[in-house]
Amino acid sequence: MNLMVRRRFSGIGQRGVFTIEFALIASFIALVLVFISDMAARQTLQGHLQRLSYSGVNVIKERTQLYGSTSGLMTHKQASQLFEILKRSMSRTISGFQADKIGLHIEQVMFNDAGNCSGNQNDDACRLASFSLGGSGCRSVIPVQNRTELFLKTSWGNPISLYQVTLCYEAPNWYGNVIGDDFSKLQSTAFMMGR
């Protein structure tokens, strides 16, 4: 009889331990799943941003063909039109896209004397155009006029213009909210040399 009583009550103490262990393991698995889904969503968004920033810098480079402009420097109107095109593309390809969370920063440097540009607006060696549109305080990590290693000349001795497009988007911050950090800002920069 003593043996039967022990068998009947031996599992009762283990049920509480199992519940505690299951709760700990389930919370860890849930945290890993939130992290994986957040990373997958971010990688998708980052891919879209990279594709669009590259497309945007190509449009800037080829805008003389598109707009018939001969001035060389981009205008604010052209920058605004490009921003609208990029926003529409994002809204078509991303569900839940919010237009107020996207930002665009466009930079262009046209040289009169390659390699001697100081980066100031009043510099005679180069002409600068810079536009920031949209939200999220979008700025490039390295401004285009600071990329002095890329100040090149063509085979005829003419300086090459430099173009840079930075596209930013404030993505949902699921994992960051769980651990108390902010990983919401995604950014992609595309750089192109003119002809």
pLDDT tens per residue, range 15-58:
677 788 888 899 889 888 878 887 888 888 888 889 989 988 88
Both tokens of residue 139? 């700025």
| Model pLDDT for residues 126-180, shown as the tens digit of each residue | 677 778 888 767 887 777 777 766 777 777 777 778 888 899 988 777 666 667 6
Domain count, the chain: 1
Phi, psi of 135 (to 5 degrees): -95, -165
pLDDT at 130: 79
Asked if 77 contacts 132 with a C-beta cutoff of 8 angstroms, the reply is: no
pLDDT at 71: 59
- Residue 54 domain flag: yes
pLDDT at 193: 78
| Model pLDDT for residues 93-140, shown as the tens digit of each residue | 887 788 888 888 888 887 765 455 655 555 566 677 778 888 767 887
- Residue 8 domain flag: no
Both tokens of residue 145? 């006029």
Q: At 70, is the pLDDT very low, low, confident or very high (cuts 50, 70, 90)?
A: low
Domain that holds residue 169: 16-193
- Residue 93 domain flag: yes
**Residue indicated by tokens 């003119």:** 194
pLDDT at 114: 47
- Residue 10 domain flag: no
Both tokens of residue 77? 């109107």
